[in-house]
Chains A and B, each alone.
Chain A
Amino acid sequence: MPILLLVVGMPFLLGMTQHIIQRLNGRMNTGWLASGSMSVSFVLLLTIAYQPVIVGQGALTYTLEWLPDYGLNLSFYLDSLSLLFGLIITGVGTVVFLYSGYYFDETDERNRFIHLLLLFTSAMLWLIFSNNLITLFIAWELTSIISFLLIGFKGNKYASAREGATRALVVTGGGGLALLVGLLALGSAGGSYEFSDLLALDLTEHAWYIPLTLLLLLGAFTKSAQFPFHFWLPGAMDAPTPASAFLHSATMVKAGVYLLARLHPVLGDTLFWNNALMIVGLTTMLFSAVVAVRQPDLKGLLAFTTTSKLGALVALLGVPGGYGVKAALIGILAHALYKSALFLSVGNIDHATGTRLVNKLGGLWKNMPITGVVVIVSSLSMAGLPPLLGFVAKETLLEAFVYDPLLLAIVFISAALTATAGYILIWDVFFAKATEEVHFHPLHKPLEVGLLVLALATVILALFVTQLLIPLFTPLIPVEFKLVLFPGFNNVFFLSVAAITTGLALFFLRNLWRRVSEFSFNTISVYDRLIATSEWVADQVLKTQNGLLRHYLIVIISVVMAILLYGGLVQDIFSMPSVELGTFTLPDLLDVMLLVLAVGAAYASVRVRHHLNAALALAIFGYAIGGVFFVEPAPDVALVMILVETLATVVLIIMIGRISAKQRAEAMEALDRNFNNRAGAFASIRDITIAVITGVSMFAFALIALVNRDNRDSIAVWHLDNAESAVGVTDVVSAILTDFRGTDTLIEIAVFATATLGLLALLTINREAGGEPEDPIEEVTPAKISIFTPMIQVVASLVFPLTLIISAVHILYGANAPGDGFTAGIVSGLGIALYYVVFGYDYVNERFTWLRPVRFVVFGLALALINAVIPILSGGSFMGLVEYAPGLDFANLKFNTTLVFEIAIAVTVFGGVSLIMETIAHPTQVPFPTDARRTSTSEMPVIVQQPESEFEQA
């Protein structure tokens, strides 16, 4: 069963590593690689498909537990149905990927396309093999999103591609929401979120049956483009043709049908189910077939025949007694084969001639005979001629509806019209004389040859339909059935022949039909009106926004305070025991002095006008708080606090220097203006009021927390008692950081690293682009400062090695003394910061060529992660304790995971600090495009509304 993990995961891994492969070998055509992996998956699935465990009614499940308590597992379900889909996806995928490798003229487009298509394949395989309802939903949404990206593939050029993509996403995404609720309801109703449990149940009598089924049907109908949601599928034809072939005919649009087939045993075959599926399915089928024939664009024609077929499949699953399931399964297979072949052929036609319009094409047979053969075989299969798989599909389809004359009539007309569409594809495109000269340029051979595989499959599967398909279908079909290529001259056969001939008759009348079927009914306008309405509502809501950041802050803070006060702060104050003043010791006196200093400095930082003075006041505030930590006594914290405060002050001052003096002066003026007018006075009073309320509330909150705190009854005591025995560390803070709450620390250094990388990204975008900022700053960045005497420079260059030694000591002996990986990282970071401040950016860059902060960050994080995983390998838990060298007794050191973790923390923090320094000490300011202030939304260039072809003609 891990085979399934491979089958599902391989396309994803290939997709994610694709750019690496490209980088290693820029000219490599990854289409071959992807196609190869698909064929391997296909063979793997084929080896499972006919094993007795599948054939004999059974299904295999395979579960990787993730959150078993919440029923969230990565579990796979493998039965004939998922295998049928899996074989279609991997089989058609093999051809489509090969094709995609040669379809695009631009290498970049090709790579981006194959990347997306690989990700889609993974999501689609995950969807059909998913045993869990929630993971099924996730995969379902993933396919919708990737479909959106593929439809909008040329969105930078064509407005229609953007519209089509958005429409598809809104419809399928909206249906996805209904599906989610439906799945959750199904899970609760059935008492399990696993198909393997649910399929044994019959929920048709459940109280929630109707709403639950309705929601699920809504999800399935939108995904499978059923009337009235069908319009997104023809709109999706702006996707590159291989995507249309793969997503929008063979696989993704059948996800809805898959879901219906999957749930048929649980929810199906009730009056409600059958009626809903029949009405929607048959409407879609007839409507689309009528519209299909008059499409001027070949892709449009194929899109509407696809929705027609999807309608047929849905209706078949609604035939009472399960008599339609056989035809549905055959139909899924036959349609996937002929329709993907037809789409790819249309791609070839488009590629070779530069147009897809029926009335411009003609006489292509002499130029592209291979594609011609494929189109003939596939179109005839679509029309339902023997000995092709489509014939079997059409026969079974008619057979399923033979019990009711009205339904049969609808199906008959649709089938005849589909046949007409097939004849149009063959005759008008390949044999009729073109009205004007058709431009033609030759194709890569793989584009044509690959399609022969699909055409061949259509023939072979039909010839051996009994042998190949009966074992696969037997577990899925609830009734006795026969499946042969040629069932004899019975009623159904004559019906089938009649449909084919009627189709031919309609073909001769096609021009008349095009005029007759011209009616102006479309659901897109309804959709557009809905969207316009929602945009209008959004506009009204937007009017409540004034865009002033401070006002948003005021609202946020006020709401938080209101919640705090409403949430019981007031009652707590009054029910609080009286505050005991207690004894007053010497450390307390120190504390009070430091706190007074801190509050004074904080007030000063608020009060003084000049930014640099405020920054210095803030530094004093930080040191005072550091002192408080020291008195507590919390030496580790005090150490880090004082070091970080130093660093923060350096960063703040450099940052202030990067903002131009003019802007700073303006900002300071803005501080003063407060009381000059009424509005200003009002604003000041409001701000002060909010600040006072916050302060008082937090005072009350702190007081309550302090008075009611647990004494000696908390987990802290447990940490104190167990630090030495469990971790072998006497410094309890270190023990908590590296072991008891080690995962927290791991995440926190990751957060720190991310913040520093974010700073790098922020301040270096456009750095290479050059250009002048519109308001150039005067240079106060360290690069230009020359107040530093040689004396200071000597000291600075001595300090850095010293900081490294201190760091090493902190790391090695942090277990039993104040200091740890964090202090080590910050101390050495301070050394680097001093270098930047004293010598400037260029000198440091030249001198320390080894200093690549990003690499340090990455290395530190990787080391921490690997170190955390190693204990699992030796049977322990994530972040467990392992002695790397138990026998080693050197300088009182323990060489274990804790030590390595400390090193990793130090390296990450050092890297992060260096990264900050490198970024902000860079002498050039980031220039922004000068019109950035005026263009709020990037404007897309609109060139052509409706592309007639995907290829630009030379």
Chain B
Amino acid sequence: MNLVFAMTVGILFGLGVYQLLRRDLIKAAMGFALLFTAVNLLLLAVGAFDGTVPAYTDQTEQSSDPLVQALILTAIVVSFGSYALLLGLVNIVSTRFGTARTDDVNHLQN
């Protein structure tokens, strides 16, 4: 299973980075969503141990790692907030520069 998880994480990162480098701002924003989730998946996979039951104190069998779950949980909510902000930025760029193409937003060039 380790191998499967590692491969999935790798593929997702590759797809996310590729998406991020597209010339389309909307797609680039979607790339962020892929990357957020890939990180969460990585966190879940590297948790200290595999469990078979949820992390409750009254379990007798080996439970899953609660620490990474807590980290992922807040990370999901925070990344949602930043995702919304990111989409807002894309929106602003599209109204301000009149384009959703990354390469046309070259305002740093004087």
Residues of chain A touching chain B, judged by Cβ–Cβ distance below 8 Å, are 542, 545-550, 553-554, 557, 579-582, 584, 587-588, 591-592, 595, 598-599, 602-603, 605-606, 611, 614-615, 618, 621-622, 625, 628-629, 632-637, 640-641, 644, 647-648, 651-652, 655-656, 658-660, 663-664, 666-668, 670-671, 687-688, 690-692, 694-700, 702-703, 705-707, 709-717, 719-720, 723-724, 729-733, 735-737, 741, 744-745, 748-749, 751-756, 758-759, 762-763, 773-775, 816, 818, 820, 822, 826, 909, 912, 916, 919-920, 925-928, 932-933, 936
Instruction: Map CB proximity to A onto B92-110 as digits: 1 under 8 Å, 0 otherwise.
Output: 1011111111110111111
Near A by CB (< 8 A), chain B positions 75-106 give 76-78, 80-85, 87-92, 94-103, 105-106
Q: Which residues of B contact A759 (CB under 8 A)?
A: 84-85, 88
- Interface assignment of B60: CB less than 8 Å from any CB of chain A: no
CA distance A137 to B46 in the complex (A): 44
Contact (A671, B83) CB under 8 Å given A550-B103, A621-B34: no
| Contact of A598 (CB < 8 Å), options: B1, B8, B53 | B8
Contact of A634 among B49, B54, B87, B106 (CB under 8 A): B54
A603 cross-chain contacts in B, Cβ below 8 A: 15
Which listed residue, A702, A927, A936, touches B110 by the CB 8 Å rule?
Answer: A936
Known: A550-B102, A752-B77. A691 touches B67 (CB 8 A): no
Whether the Cβ atoms of B81 and A671 lie closer than 8 Å is no
Find residues 11-55 in chain B having any chain A CB closer than 8 Å to their own CB. 11-27, 29-30, 33-34, 37-38, 40-42, 44-49, 51-55
Cross-chain contact A625 with B37 (CB below 8 angstroms): yes
- Once the chains bind, are A648 and B80 in contact (CB under 8 Å)? yes
11 interchain pairs, CB-CB under 8 A: A549-B102, A549-B108, A588-B1, A602-B12, A648-B83, A670-B101, A702-B42, A714-B49, A717-B48, A733-B73, A916-B81
Q: Is the CB of B109 within 8 A of A762?
A: no
User: Contact check: which of A605, A656, A716, A762 meets B34 at CB < 8 Å?
Assistant: A605
**Does the CB pair A730–B97 fall under 8 Å?**
no
Closest to A709 in B: B46
**From residue A780, how far is it (CB to closest CB) to chain B in Å?**
13
Are A720 and B8 CB-contacts (below 8 A) given A625-B40, A660-B94, A752-B81? Answer: no
Asked if B21 contacts A602 (CB within 8 A), the reply is no
Q: Say which size band chain B's interface belongs to.
A: 35 or more
* A816 CA to B57 CA, complexed, in Å: 9
CB atoms of B24 and A667 under 8 A apart: yes
Number of A-B contacts (CB under 8 A): 347
Contacts of A580 in B (CB 8 A): 2
Partner of B96, one of A547, A733, A933: A933
Which chain B residue lies CB-closest to A624?
Answer: B37
- 20 further A-B contacts with Cβ under 8 Å, apart from A636-B69, A763-B92, A909-B77, are A548-B109, A550-B21, A550-B102, A599-B8, A611-B27, A614-B30, A666-B100, A671-B27, A687-B21, A694-B13, A695-B10, A698-B10, A702-B46, A709-B46, A723-B57, A730-B57, A748-B78, A755-B81, A920-B84, A932-B96
Q: Which residue of A lies closest to B11 (CB)?
A: A599
Measured CB to CB, the closest approach of chain A to B55, in angstroms, equals 4
Q: Which residues of B contact A703 (CB under 8 A)?
A: 2-3, 6
B1: A residues at CB distance < 8 A: 582, 584, 588, 591
B70 to A741, Cβ gap below 8 A? yes
How far, in Å, is B17 (CB) from chain A's closest CB? 4
Kindly list chain A residues whose C-beta atoms are within 8 Å of the C-beta of B78.
748, 751-752, 755
Q: Which 10 A-B pairs have the closest CB atoms?
A: A695-B14, A699-B10, A547-B109, A755-B81, A691-B18, A732-B66, A547-B108, A736-B70, A714-B48, A698-B13
Q: Closest Cβ of chain A: how far from B99's Cβ, in Å?
A: 6
Q: How far is the CA of A758 from the CA of B88 in the complex (A)?
A: 9
B101 contacts A762, C-beta separation under 8 Å: no
Q: A644-B76, A699-B9 are in contact. Are A637 and B14 (CB under 8 A)?
A: no
**Is B89 in contact with A762, judged by CB distance below 8 angstroms?**
yes
A736 to B41, CA, bound (A): 19
- Complex CA gap A744/B77 in Å reads 13
Question: What residue of chain A has the Cβ atom nearest to residue B39's Cβ?
Answer: A698
